Amino acid sequence: MTAVIDTDSPTGTEVKRDFRLIDSTLRDGSHAISHQYTEDQVVAVVKGLDAAGVQVIEVTHGDGLGGSSFNYGFSKVDEMKLVEAAVNATTNADIAVLLVPGIGTVDELRRVRDLGVNVVRIAVHCTEADITEQHIKIAKELGMEAIGFLMMSHMNTPQGLLQQAKLLEGYGADTVYIADSAGAMTTNEVRARVAEIVGGIDVPLGVHAHQNLSLAVANSIAAYEEGARNLDGTSAGLGAGAGNCPTEILAAVCEKNGIVSGVNPLMLMDLAEEVTRPLMPRQQVVDRAGLLLGYAGVYGSFLLHAERAAERYGVPQAEILLELGRRKVVGGQEDMIIDVAVELARKHAEAEGRTA
């Protein structure tokens, strides 16, 4: 591939890139810290990513605009303040937001556009692209880049995803993404999906990888090799479940493979070590619960909710996650976590001859 030329680099000089890097530390990473970001933390992360040459930085509640709620978890700071802080802190990078129809609203989209947000990722389950038409068209009317974002993409076939991608493209999406929200896809599964979609649409494709099977970096590189030209990461892998593709590792691996990212791996390493890791309540590791998410195909943001339900109802977290996987729950069904925990507690009590 001929590298693209980026003239909006931190140094003001031309930078060649083989793909666009979108960092969602300040959105997906919100899940891992229970949505407790402060304005100072947002500014520190944005400045570090911007200085390293990252092109797009995503900032919202983990569940997108309007996500601060009883169902998904309340933000410590109003997301509009966080978005405004991010816009004011960046010099070159575009600030993006995530919007899930039914959680976020068009009014909120207009508000962030007025704050200076240029990019919106409109996220839906991987079989529901048809509900994005209104949001994509309004984003385009507002002069924003609209990205269609298909979540839980392991739950659809390559051919099925292509049909969904065509819908997004038809509505006016500038880019289409497939998100491995559960970190459940193997490298071969990623290759098959990317190859199928790239061959059937005219807009760029992106991949958002999670680390639950320890394949986030490998899957991102495989996606690039099959034609994806947008890749996601988070600083120190901070994100839902076992975390996301670590931005600094992705950048380092790209450099060793001769893939031009246009970002500075050493600066990203410094950011991860000096800014991101200190604010993490626990390091992102592929422990039993994280691995179970990928193994069972469960949405990454369910991890902390399942942990709390396990403690509250006295049932193993692993049993909750496996049952959620069997039921094929998707994002937006967080209430099912409590239902499953209650049912399992009742079964345990019955088996032991006691009352739950």
pLDDT in tens, 113-122: 999 999 999 9
**Residue 181, marked binder:** yes
User: What distance in Å separates the CA atoms of residue 29 and residue 26, rounded to the nearest whole number?
Assistant: 6
Tens digits of residue pLDDT in 316-332: 888 888 888 888 887 66
Q: What is the pLDDT of residue 14?
A: 66
Q: Helices 79-89 and 39-52: crossing angle, nearest 10°?
A: 30
For the chain, the average pLDDT equals 92
User: What distance in Å separates the CA atoms of residue 3 and residue 306, rounded to the nearest whole number?
Assistant: 43
Q: What is the pLDDT of residue 11?
A: 46
Selected catalytic residue, list 31, 125, 135, 154: 31
**Residue 28, marked binder:** yes
Q: What is the pLDDT of residue 334?
A: 75
Domain range 4-279, CATH class: alpha beta
Name the segment(s) of the chain with CATH classification 3.20.20.70: 4-279
- Residue 205 makes CB contacts below 8 A (sequence gap 6+) with 165, 175, 176, 177, 178, 194, 197, 198, 227, 228, 229, 230
Name the segment(s) of the chain with CATH classification 1.10.8.60: 301-351
Fold of 301-351: Helicase, Ruva Protein; domain 3 (1.10.8)
Strand partners, 15: 6
Handedness of CA 117, 90, 274, 77 (dihedral sign): negative
**What value does the mean pLDDT take over residues 261-283?**
96
Assess whether 125 carries a catalytic annotation.
Answer: no
Q: Which two tokens stand for residue 205?
A: 């494709």
What separation in angstroms does the CA of 316 have from each of 55, 173, 329, 341, 342? 42, 42, 18, 9, 12
**Residue 210, marked binder:** yes
User: What distance in Å separates the CA atoms of residue 317 and residue 239, rounded to the nearest whole number?
Assistant: 19
Q: What is the dihedral of CA 33, 38, 39, 40, to 10 degrees?
A: -100
With 50 as the cut, is the pLDDT of residue 176 above it?
yes
**Residue 299, marked binder:** yes
**What value does the mean pLDDT take over residues 285-295?**
86
- Residue 7: pLDDT band by 50, 70, 90 thresholds? very low
Q: Which two tokens stand for residue 154?
A: 């392991």
Query: 189: buried, middle or exposed (CB in 10 Å: 19+, 13-18, 0-12)?
Result: middle
Chain mean position to CA 222: 18
Q: Supply the pTM of this predicted model.
A: 0.87
Q: What is the pLDDT of residue 336?
A: 83
**Residue 135, marked binder:** no
**Residue 154, marked binder:** no
